[in-house]
Structures are given as structure tokens and as C-alpha cells.
Amino acid sequence: MADDLGPEKSTFLRAFAVFSRRADGEPSVHKGEICTRIREVGIVPAVRTSSTDDARFAAEAVAKSGIPIVEITMTVPGAIGVISYLVRNLPNMIVGAGTLLDVGTARLCADAGVRFLTSPGLDLEIVSFAAKEKMWVMAGALTPTEVITAWKAGSGFARVFPCAQVGGDSYIRALRGPLPHVPLIAAGGVNQQTASSFILAGVDAIGVNL
């Protein structure tokens, strides 16, 4: 149950669930639809727990709250197993893998059934791998140069990380001026109090840790 995640996080998830669409239709979601779904929902919850059981519980709580997207970070013990479990047991959930640092791990996640990949920094090898596998990827990027490079390389969104630590929503506004066409996700330090500011600044979605 979402309440067991803590009052702030469960309230946060419920608030976004009001604006999200549940994935009660076809279990299979194509690459292009992932972008649409992320924009509709406006939030990518990232599970970053210290145990396998907690990660499964958190992901299931996200699904029950009405948000059909979850990212399992590679810092979770047994993350690949958690991904496999969720893919099997939550077929209407768009399950992704986060904190990817190399192509080898990205390949293991793809084999486990993830639908999208994210990285904390700009790794063009991971972006290239995702393109070959026809998977959605959200490459980490911080500077304007990295944001442009990620977009040109084929990253579906430029994942601005760590966002809050370099100016927060004002930094997003600064990027939006010259780069209005580049899809952005704000991640790193985004929370219940600051989420609306990032959305008003022009991001396509926000990434939050559970």
C-alpha cells in the first residue's frame, strides 16, 4: 500500500496519480508510446532502496497508486531480479532500469524485459545500444553541451541531473530559452515541495526517488 512508503511520498504519488492514465489496456507498450505515457503522467518514480523486498514493495505501491511507470536503479541489491519479477507480475507497468553505467549492465536489463534505460551521466555507448535495441533511453546530461549531445545522439529525453544542486527550476528555465525543442526531465533533488516549480519551468516530467 502506498501509505507504507511514508506520508510525504504516498501523498506525492497520489497527487500525480490524479493526472495520470492507468495502463489498463494492452500490456505491450511500443517505444513511441513510452514517450507519450511519460509526458501524460509527468513523473518517473525511481526505486532506490537497500533491499530487494523493499524495492518490490515500493514498485507495487507505485502501481497501486495509479502511476504506470517505475524505474529500478542498479543500486538496489538484486536489481535485475527485481526487474524480472515486476515484468512478470505487473504486465501493465512500464518498468525501466536506472543508474546504468555501462552497456553490459544495460544488456542484462534489456534481457530482463525493461522498456527504458536511464543513466546519471551522458554515456553515448548506452544511447547507441538503446537505439540498436529499439529501446527508449533517457541519458543523463547537465551542461547545455551535454543536453544537446544527448538529444542529437537519440536520447528520448535529456535527464538533467543533478538538477536541484545547480539552480533547480531557474536552471531549467535557462536551458529552455535556447533549447525549447529538447525534451527534458528534471532529476536529482526534486521533491514534493519543488515539483510544481520544475513543471512550470518547462520540464516534460520529473524524476523522484523512492
Within its chain, how far is the Cα of 38 from the centroid?
Answer: 8
Q: State pLDDT tens for residues 144-155.
A: 999 999 999 999
Helix (H) or strand (E) holding 136: strand 136-141
- CA 126 – CA 105 distance, rounded (Å): 10
Residue 166 DSSP label: G
pLDDT level of residue 1 (50, 70, 90 thresholds): very low
Mean pLDDT of 190-196: 91
User: In order of start, what are the domains of the chain with their CATH numbers?
Assistant: 2-17+31-209 (3.20.20.70)
* Predicted pLDDT at 44: 96
Q: Give the SS3 label for residue 76.
A: coil
pLDDT band of residue 35 (cuts 50, 70, 90) is: confident
Give the separation between CA 55 and CA 154, rounded to whole angstroms. 30
